Copies of this chain bind each other. A is one copy, B any other.
Amino acid sequence: MIRNYFFSFLRNTKQNKGLITSVKQIAGYKPFRLELFQLVTQHSSIAKTLPNGFKASNERLEYLGDAILGAVVADYLFKKYPFKDEGFLTEIRSRIVNRESLGQLARKIGITQLVQEDLRASKVNYKFIYGDMIEAFIGAVYLDRGYKFCRKFIIKKLLIPHFDLDQIIENNTNYKSILIEWAQKENKEVAFEIVKIDEEKRKKEFHAEVILNEESFTKGIGLNKKKAEQMAAFKACKALDIL
């Protein structure tokens, strides 16, 4: 019994040391509250249930980190592009902060180190785990060191070294073609319609609709037909969860 305790203590210490090293490598500082980062490693599939019935997984941290990341990226883009409108800013932000790109980022910065053996053994989808984990990690840094520090961490350690903004801006994903492709595969009918051109505004505004199986599905507004259709298609892709 005592022996077991002793070994579990040793194992924990070794694990903790590894965790401290990982956090240092990723965030550039020794964590103040190690328990926050221990929680980062607790994917819901392996998380322990507390005596009060609450499951201590990283999902709460992920929810928090997602919001903080969104705010920091919003702020960063706002200041970097003083003459770009909110449509541009929203679009570029969503290209940075999405599961796919966060998953790639997680691999680059070594979040993979934080995946524990019992999680490796389980059969969860890694593609999602990594992106979730990076958000949880951001949540932990925020709670450990506050907004200002966390903002610096996100900008200096994540955004600047790992995202080429010029390339992200150039890469005009064609949501219309993504939607059309999906519809063909799923055997649905999809069409695009310009339903209104608003000439009352100083600049003409085009209103487009995605028609899915003959029903109006999503709407988009833009300064030309193409932009309006792309926005409607983007919303449809989001609603259908196919991005």
Contact = CB atoms under 8 A, between A and B. Distances in A.
Interface in A64-107: 64, 66-68, 70-71, 73-75, 78, 83, 85-86, 89-90
A85 B42 CA distance: 14
Contacts of A63: 74, 78, 86, 89-90
A188 B215 contact: yes
A185 interface: no
Contacts of A74: 63-64, 66-68
A interface, over-half SS: helix
A70 to B, nearest CB: 5
Contacts of A64: 74-75, 78
A49 interface: yes
Contacts of A55: 85
A62 interface: yes
A76 to B, nearest CB: 10
A148 interface: yes
Interface residues of A, number: 37
A120 interface: no
A242 B52 CA distance: 37
A93 to B, nearest CB: 8
A74 B143 CA distance: 12
Given A147-B148, A215-B213, A67 B60 contact: no
Interface in A39-59: 45, 49-50, 52, 54-55, 59
A86 B67 contact: no
Interface of A: 45, 49-50, 52, 54-55, 59-60, 62-64, 66-68, 70-71, 73-75, 78, 83, 85-86, 89-90, 142, 147-148, 151, 188, 201-202, 212-213, 215, 218, 239
Which 10 A-B residue pairings sit nearest by Cβ, starting from the closest?
A67-B74, A71-B71, A63-B86, A239-B239, A59-B86, A67-B71, A147-B147, A54-B83, A64-B78, A67-B70
30 contacts: A45-B201, A49-B202, A54-B85, A59-B85, A60-B86, A62-B86, A63-B74, A63-B86, A63-B89, A64-B74, A64-B75, A66-B74, A67-B70, A67-B73, A67-B74, A67-B75, A68-B71, A68-B74, A68-B75, A70-B70, A70-B71, A75-B142, A147-B147, A147-B148, A148-B148, A188-B215, A212-B215, A213-B213, A218-B239, A239-B239
